[in-house]
Each structure stands twice: as C-alpha cells, then as structure tokens.
Copies of this chain bind each other. A is one copy, B any other.
Amino acid sequence: MAPVEGGGATGGTLHKVNFAAPRSFAVAFKSDLKETFFPDDPFHDFKGKPLPIKAKKALQYFVPIFEWLPKYTRKLFMYDLLAGITIASLAIPQGISYAKLANIPPIIGLYSSFVPPLIYSVFGSSKHLAVGTVAASSLIIAATIEAKVNPNENPQLYLNLVFTATLISGVTELILGVFRLGILVDFLSHSTITGFMGGTATLICLQQLKGIFGLKHFTTHTDMVSVIRVILKNRKEIRWESTVVGVIFLVFLQFTRFVKQKKPKLFWVSAVAPMAVVVTGCVFAYVAHAEKHGIAIVGDLKKGINPSSLRNLDFDPKYISAPIQAGLVTAMIALAEGIAIGRSFAIMENQQIDGNKEMIAFGLMNIIGSVTSCYLTTGPFSKTAVNYNAGCKTQMANVVMSICMMLTLFFLAPLFSYTPLVALSAIIMSAMLGLIEYEKAYHLYKTDKFDFIICMAAFFGVAFISMDVGLMLSVGLALVRALLYIARPASSKLGNIPDTSLYRDVEQYPGATDIPNTLILQLGSPIYFANSGYLRERILRWVRDEKAKKAADGDDVEYVLLDFGGVTSIDITGVETLVEIRRSLEVKEIKVVIVNPRLEVMEKLIVTGFIEKIGKERVFLSIADAIEGCKFSLTRLKDCGTEER
C-alpha cells in the first residue's frame, strides 16, 4: 500500500478542500485584465503614497527626463560626452547609407539623427538606447513605396510618402504603447526573429552588390532570385575599380569586427571604423577624382538643419495604401526590436524597461520626426550596444549625438558629399553580415527541430518571396505550433515512487508502482474547446489500456483519479467534456475522482454545477488523500454490499 502523503493525514482524516464561492465576474475580469496588460505592475511604486508624491511620480514615470536630469552630475556628463561622440561618428555613415537604402536623399539620414534623439532623451526611459535609422525598416519602406511610385521618376512624391509612412508608423507606435499592446510582440518568437533578421540581412547584402560592383541598373524587387538575375544580366556593367575598393573596405570593416570579438575592450575600433571608411573614401574620391573612374559618390549635401516637412505629408487616397502598409509593418518591427532591447539591457544592468512605455517615446519621436524632415528612427540594437560599450550613463548621450549632428549639418555636411557609394555599401554589408546568426540556427537545429523550421520559414520566406510574406509564414507556423501545443496537451499515468508518498509519471520514473483498483492520470495546461475532444479520447484510451493491463494481473480499474494540479483553466466545453467522460466511465462502473483543482478551475467547476454533480466527497486535496478516500469507500462498499452515492 502507498504511504499517505502528508504526515498529519492518516486513517481517513483527509485534508479539507476549499469549496469557497467563486469570485464575482467583475473581480475575476479585473484580475485577468491586469495580468494581460500590466503583468509587470508598472505602478507598484505609487501605492499608498500621498497625492503630490503620486503626481510627481506619475510625471517622472511618463516623462523620464524629470527623473534623471535633476540628479545629473558633471562626472556623468564626461561619460555621456564620450559615448555621444562615438555614436555620432557611427550615425553619420549609417545615416547616409540607410537613406540610400531607402532611396531618399542622403541628407535626410543626417536630419534623422538630429531631432529624434532629442525627443527620445525627454520621453525615453532607457539609459543606454541610441536612436538612429535602421536598415531593415529602410528597406521595407523602400520596397513598399516603390511598388506605387518610382523614386527616380518622381523623387519628391516618393519622399513625401516616406514622411507619411514615418508619421503613420509613429502614430501606430503611440497607439500600441498607450493601449499596452506589447503583448502582440509575444507572438514573435526568438526563432522567428532570428530567421527574419537573417533573411533581411541577406537581402540587404545582396542589394549592396549594386554599390560594390558599381552597377547602374538594378531591380526594385528585393527577393534573391530577382537580384541575382539582374546582376547576371548586367554583369557587363561591373566596374573593377569599384569592386576592388569595395572589397578592401569590407575586409577592413570585417577585420575590426573580428578584433572586437576577440578583445571586447577594443570595441571602439569597430565603432569608429565606418567613420574611418567614410573619411578615407572622401579623401580618396576627392584626390583621385574617383567619379571619373566609375566610382559614384553621394553628391549634393546642403548645409543647414532640418527644414519643416509638414506640408510634405501626403494623404492622397491614390497612394495612401503604401505608406499605411509600410507604417504598420515597420511599427511592429520597431516594437519587437524596442522590447527586445529593453529586455537585454534589463538583464545586463538589472534595471527594468517597460516596452510599452518605450513605444510611446518611439511614437512621439517619429511623429515629430515626420514633420521635421526625418524618416523612420528607432533604437537599433547595434548602435545601442556601441553606446553601452562606450560607457554612456544616461539619455544625455543622445543629446550629445544630436548636438554633434547639428554641428555636422551646419559646417561639415558638404564634405561628406564626396563619400563613395561603394564605401556606404561596404558599411551596410558589414553591419548586415553580423546579423546572420549561423550558430543560433544550428543551435535551434540541435535542440528543437520545429523551432528550426519556424526560423527557416522566416529566412527563406524573406529571402525568396518577400519580407512580409516571410514574417507572416513564420508567425503562422509558430501559431500553428502553439495551437497544437494546446490542442494536444500531455497527459501521463502516475505511479507511486516506492517508500514515499510521491506520485510521478511511470514513463519518466520506471520504478513507480501501480495502485490496485486505481488509475492515476495527470493532466496539464488549460482544458477547453481546442483540446477537450482529444483529452476525452486520450483518457478513455488510458482507461482501456489500463483495464487490459490490470486484467492480466486479475485486477480491475474501479477509480480514475484525475490530477488537476497542472490545469490552469477550463472553459464550458471543457466542463462538458468532463461530464461526458464521467458518464462514459460510470457506464463501465468506474468512478471519477478529482484531485487538487486550482483556484480558477475550482470556481468554474462550482459555478457550472460539476462539483455538485459528482459530489464533494469525490474531490480531494492530494493524490494520497484520494487513494485513502477511495480505499475507505471501497471497504465500506464491500462490507455493506450496497452502492454508495
């Protein structure tokens, strides 16, 4: 016989099960809402404080500059100054490069590193995040808007639509943040993001072949097949001068990345390398009249800071679908990236960043950016890492970068007009190569084949079809898997671990022994419409198999104990299924016993009348209690020869 679980419970004194009346709908609903949208309890600091302090805390919560600026010191500034200059030196080449990638004038890329960082330093809550433009979003904007307007034929209209897309993206981010829809990002798994980033990086690398090879004609399609085809078609246009310079730059940049990897202390080598490439490129182009040798330069960078672009916003119904699509997709990707950054730095620095609040800051940044000649900005991971490594302490680093950019715009901008396009291509390509995570994909392959498939779906979908199809394909697969998880929850037969009162899966612990007359099943995960049919089949199969097994030993199944300890919730269909299971088993003269339902499940079982139907005496707090209880009623049954209720 199994010993009794719980020292105090022997000989029929069983532990009391809590059958308290369920919470009201309002209470349960409020609790559910809180868990859904405020799992991190952002206002926990406010509780029980007097009103003025609450108001101050609220202001500091929503506008974080009020929190950090009063405490700011000169010593902190020295750190932020260095970090700010470092990221500014990265922002100039990246700004120009990504603007080229988005097919907009390069100066817009520089404008975009001036206004948005200022806005972020007021509203943003991350101390380490560096604001800037990103390659993936630039490419998405370009690919979506090019489908409607040719940037070469009608550059002004194209640019206006880019500003409009930026506005829509900002508004979307603001809305997502205010309504705390960060939950949507939960559905982008690491595998999807790995695959998507890898695929996008591959595409962007391929696009850079235009710059490296110095091609004049290229395709607006982004998929691999089209790009490779157009390169093969135009292979006669390839200029060796450009190619040689490009390869040299690329090798240099990759080497600095390698140095950083080997000696993390030398991170600044790779941080200033792009600037070094641009400066070298400019000098080279100026001295060698590179343009005459087939090496195109940026050209045309005017002095002066951001003009207003309020009048450029274009809501013409003929074109509006493109900026809307681009805005929504980029907002979702910014959301994913923003929250991922929050998470990473929360771990590194043991501080907590609320992804939803970050989205509000991003939203304001892009809304204001869209009317000051900036295009989409966010907190790119790579730039943020440089900022962190350069020793930034507060959001002031963004202000420093912004001032550097202002000075550049006022005085140095024309100098950068000599930047060779091939240098920009090398910079983008080098950045993108770092985003293709072979090792991670291999790790997925080794540990979880389905996660690997989800990752590959994103990668190949993006590389061979299009970015949104790839993303949707991968998210769709991940959702199918999630639904399968819940549609086919594991159940297992428990046995007694000898000399203990523990009951564990007999498959996992082969030494666990059966209990006479009894089958103990452990259920898991929520029980509801999507899995209740399966559970019913599965439980009946367990009973059938166990009956056959026990029959061989001259025993029979008289009780089925369902361990509900792992069941987190149940819906109407689930309860109806329990009723069905009970009826099916009663026909076979098997009694169903429920063990340890959790709070929510118990509430639902009470309110639907299930507990009343099976009787409170059939519900136990632990498996040992249940076995004890069944043994008792079994003995009584045999003694009296009558059927108990």
Check if A515 is an interface residue, CB within 8 A of chain B.
Answer: no
Instruction: Give the chain B neighbours of A185 by CB distance below 8 A.
Output: 533
Instruction: Give the chain B neighbours of A499 by CB distance below 8 A.
Output: 6-8
Check if A637 is an interface residue, CB within 8 A of chain B.
Answer: no
Instruction: Give the chain B neighbours of A507 by CB distance below 8 A.
Output: 599
Instruction: Give the chain B neighbours of A531 by CB distance below 8 A.
Output: 186
> Is the contact region of chain A dominated by helix, strand, or loop, or is it mixed?
helix
Establish whether residues B3 and A7, one from each chain, have CB atoms under 8 Å apart when the complex forms: yes
Mask, A603-619, CB within 8 Å of B = 1, is: 01001100000000000
Instruction: Give the chain B neighbours of A314 by CB distance below 8 A.
Output: none
Contact of A500 among B9, B35, B478, B569 (CB under 8 A): B9
Contact of A485 among B478, B486, B545, B587 (CB under 8 A): B486
Least CB distance, A38 to chain B, in whole angstroms: 9
Establish whether residues B584 and A350, one from each chain, have CB atoms under 8 Å apart when the complex forms: yes
Separation of A500 and B565 alpha carbons in the complex (Å): 17
Considering the complex, give the chain B residue whose CB is closest to the CB of A355.
Answer: B533
Q: Which of A566-605 contact B (CB under 8 A)?
A: 566-569, 571-573, 575-576, 580, 583-584, 587-588, 596, 598-600, 602, 604
Establish whether residues B347 and A584, one from each chain, have CB atoms under 8 Å apart when the complex forms: yes
Separation of A191 and B32 alpha carbons in the complex (Å): 21
Check if A524 is an interface residue, CB within 8 A of chain B.
Answer: yes
Considering the complex, give the chain B residue whose CB is closest to the CB of A479.
Answer: B483
Q: A501-B5, A565-B566 are in contact. Are A183 and B487 (CB under 8 A)?
A: yes
Establish whether residues A190 and B529, one from each chain, have CB atoms under 8 Å apart when the complex forms: yes
Establish whether residues B502 and A5, one from each chain, have CB atoms under 8 Å apart when the complex forms: yes
Establish whether residues B504 and A621, one from each chain, have CB atoms under 8 Å apart when the complex forms: yes
Check if A528 is an interface residue, CB within 8 A of chain B.
Answer: yes
Check if A40 is an interface residue, CB within 8 A of chain B.
Answer: yes
Establish whether residues A508 and B191, one from each chain, have CB atoms under 8 Å apart when the complex forms: no
Establish whether residues A191 and B526, one from each chain, have CB atoms under 8 Å apart when the complex forms: no
Establish whether residues A40 and B485, one from each chain, have CB atoms under 8 Å apart when the complex forms: no
Separation of A253 and B321 alpha carbons in the complex (Å): 56
Separation of A5 and B501 alpha carbons in the complex (Å): 7
Check if A156 is an interface residue, CB within 8 A of chain B.
Answer: no
Instruction: Give the chain B neighbours of A528 by CB distance below 8 A.
Output: 189, 482, 485
Contact of A18 among B192, B509, B545, B604 (CB under 8 A): B509
Considering the complex, give the chain B residue whose CB is closest to the CB of A184.
Answer: B487
Establish whether residues A599 and B492, one from each chain, have CB atoms under 8 Å apart when the complex forms: yes
Instruction: Give the chain B neighbours of A565 by CB distance below 8 A.
Output: 565-566
Check if A157 is an interface residue, CB within 8 A of chain B.
Answer: no
Separation of A15 and B444 alpha carbons in the complex (Å): 32
| Stretch in A72-80, A360-368, A445-453, A456-464 with 4+ CB within 8 Å of B | A445-453
For chain A, the bracket of interface size reads: 35 or more
Check if A39 is an interface residue, CB within 8 A of chain B.
Answer: yes
Q: Which of A111-161 contact B (CB under 8 A)?
A: none
Contact of A533 among B343, B500, B596, B607 (CB under 8 A): B343
Least CB distance, A145 to chain B, in whole angstroms: 31
Instruction: Give the chain B neighbours of A352 by CB distance below 8 A.
Output: 540
Check if A44 is an interface residue, CB within 8 A of chain B.
Answer: yes
Check if A411 is an interface residue, CB within 8 A of chain B.
Answer: no
Check if A316 is an interface residue, CB within 8 A of chain B.
Answer: no
Establish whether residues A524 and B485, one from each chain, have CB atoms under 8 Å apart when the complex forms: no
Least CB distance, A549 to chain B, in whole angstroms: 13
Check if A219 is an interface residue, CB within 8 A of chain B.
Answer: no
Check if A556 is an interface residue, CB within 8 A of chain B.
Answer: no
Least CB distance, A556 to chain B, in whole angstroms: 17
Establish whether residues A490 and B524, one from each chain, have CB atoms under 8 Å apart when the complex forms: no
Contact of A451 among B343, B449, B571 (CB under 8 A): B571
Q: Which of A533-553 contact B (CB under 8 A)?
A: 533-534, 536-538, 540-541, 544-545
Check if A54 is an interface residue, CB within 8 A of chain B.
Answer: no
Least CB distance, A20 to chain B, in whole angstroms: 8
Establish whether residues A541 and B39, one from each chain, have CB atoms under 8 Å apart when the complex forms: yes
Establish whether residues B189 and A573, one from each chain, have CB atoms under 8 Å apart when the complex forms: yes
Measured CB to CB, the residues of A under 8 A from B are 3-9, 15, 18, 25, 29, 32, 35-36, 39-41, 44, 183, 185-192, 339, 343, 346-347, 350, 352, 443-444, 446-451, 478-479, 482-490, 492, 497, 499-502, 504-505, 507-509, 524-526, 528-534, 536-538, 540-541, 544-545, 565-569, 571-573, 575-576, 580, 583-584, 587-588, 596, 598-600, 602, 604, 607-608, 621-622
